[in-house]
């Protein structure tokens, strides 16, 4: 990180150096679930507004940052600018598909997969469609196709392998194959990459399976992330541990602070917090309804 910051300081007009630093901040936000890194990344890219004249990789980075902040329409528009300049850009197309998935626009996501296919590897093309199929009632077939494509593809990049194992775990879970899902979760964890989404998904899996003690072991050092702290608090509550109240109080303070800043990044988690930890079904329903207006996954 020090080297990346130094490179930007030495050449503040170098867009490539800025993208590398912004990308690392984005990765840290994804790893730790800490939105402050998104603010740092946005500051790095400030000299290059999200306009058609910006370099493609700058546009892609702007889109990813907007997506993280749940500005989905803004992110889609920026990714479209990137694709207008570079139609084969895999990342822009993949992120558009991901946003459509969050919005439950499955036809839109499938359309992005089809547009991506001519510029993608076999594994990437299969993975995109499998993600849609797994969410629309074809989980078992999607898992089989994606597993086969992965087995045929040697030397998969670790970060992409993590995404694939997470998708395979969720797909197997949807299909009711819990032992298989756990193998995929553990394969993802075994890659040694911190990932907030994988940890949250596996924690939910463990909670559903009645294994809250394992959630404590998994997440005890992840209290900076609201999404993971929520699962930690739920696990502690189910085990009857006093620390559940401390976790719950901290979560409540963070949600209140976010509301004062006008941030609504964790409405899904806030709804679950209100229902499971506060027992306030009415407030939970209101938060869930507000979240549903933008996120329908």
Domain range annotation of the chain: 1-119, 121-190, 195-297
Q: How far apart are CA 25 and CA 17, in angstroms?
A: 13
Whether the per-residue pLDDT at 23 is higher than 90: the answer is: yes
CA dist 141 → 129, 134, 138 (Å):
11, 8, 6
pLDDT tens profile 34-50: 888 999 999 999 999 89
Q: Which pLDDT does position 263 carry in this prediction?
A: 67
Binned at pLDDT 50, 70 and 90, residue 8 comes out as confident
| Structure token digits, residue 4 | 């990346």
> What is the mean predicted confidence (pLDDT) over 207-230?
95
Whether the per-residue pLDDT at 287 is higher than 90: the answer is: no
Q: Does an H or E element contain 125, and which?
A: helix 122-135
Domain 1-119 has CATH 1.25.40.10: yes
Q: Does an H or E element contain 71, and which?
A: none
% pLDDT > 70, the chain:
98
Q: Which pLDDT does position 181 carry in this prediction?
A: 98
Q: How far apart are CA 93 and CA 12, in angstroms?
A: 29
| Structure token digits, residue 150 | 């992965």
Burial tier of 158 (Cβ tally within 10 Å: 0-12, 13-18, 19+)? exposed
Residues 6+ apart with CB under 8 A from 106: 100, 132, 135, 136
Whether the per-residue pLDDT at 236 is higher than 90: the answer is: yes
Mean pLDDT taken over the chain:
92
DSSP state of 277: I
Q: Which pLDDT does position 159 carry in this prediction?
A: 92
What is the rounded (10 degree) CA torsion for 211, 213, 215, 217? -140
CA dist 215 → 209, 234, 238, 267, 289 (Å):
11, 9, 11, 22, 28
Residues 6+ apart with CB under 8 A from 23: 41, 61
pLDDT tens profile 106-140: 999 999 999 999 999 999 999 999 999 999 999 99
DSSP state of 51: S
Confidence (pTM): 0.89
CA angle 35, 99, 147 (to 5 degrees): 105
Whether the per-residue pLDDT at 173 is higher than 80: the answer is: yes
């Amino acid at each position: 990180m020090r080297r990346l910051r130094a490179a930007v300081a030495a050449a503040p007009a170098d867009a490539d150096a800025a993208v590398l630093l912004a990308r690392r901040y984005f990765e840290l936000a994804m790893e730790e679930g800490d939105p402050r890194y998104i603010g740092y990344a946005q500051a790095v890219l400030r000299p290059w507004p999200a306009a058609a004249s910006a370099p493609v990789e700058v546009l892609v980075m702007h889109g990813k940052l907007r997506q993280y902040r749940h500005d989905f329409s803004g992110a889609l528009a920026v990714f479209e600018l990137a694709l207008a300049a570079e139609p084969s850009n895999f990342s822009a197309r993949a992120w558009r598909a991901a946003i459509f998935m969050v919005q439950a626009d499955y036809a839109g996501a499938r359309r992005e997969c089809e547009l991506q296919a001519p510029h993608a590897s076999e594994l990437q093309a299969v993975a995109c469609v499998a993600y849609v199929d797994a969410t629309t009632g074809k989980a078992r077939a999607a898992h089989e196709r994606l597993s086969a494509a992965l087995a045929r593809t040697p030397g998969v990049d670790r970060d992409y392998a993590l995404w694939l194992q997470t998708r395979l775990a969720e797909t197997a879970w949807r299909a009711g194959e819990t032992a298989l899902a756990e193998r995929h979760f553990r394969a993802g964890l075994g890659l040694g990459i911190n990932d907030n989404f994988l940890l949250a998904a596996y924690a939910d899996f463990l909670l559903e399976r009645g294994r809250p003690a394992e959630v404590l072991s998994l997440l005890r050092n992840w209290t900076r992330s609201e999404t993971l702290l929520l699962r930690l608090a739920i696990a502690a509550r189910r085990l009857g541990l006093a620390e559940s109240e401390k976790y719950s109080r901290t979560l409540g303070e963070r949600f209140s602070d976010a509301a004062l800043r006008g941030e609504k990044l964790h409405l899904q988690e806030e709804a679950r917090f209100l229902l499971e930890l506060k027992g306030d079904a009415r407030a939970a329903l209101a938060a869930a309804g507000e979240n549903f207006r933008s996120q329908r996954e």
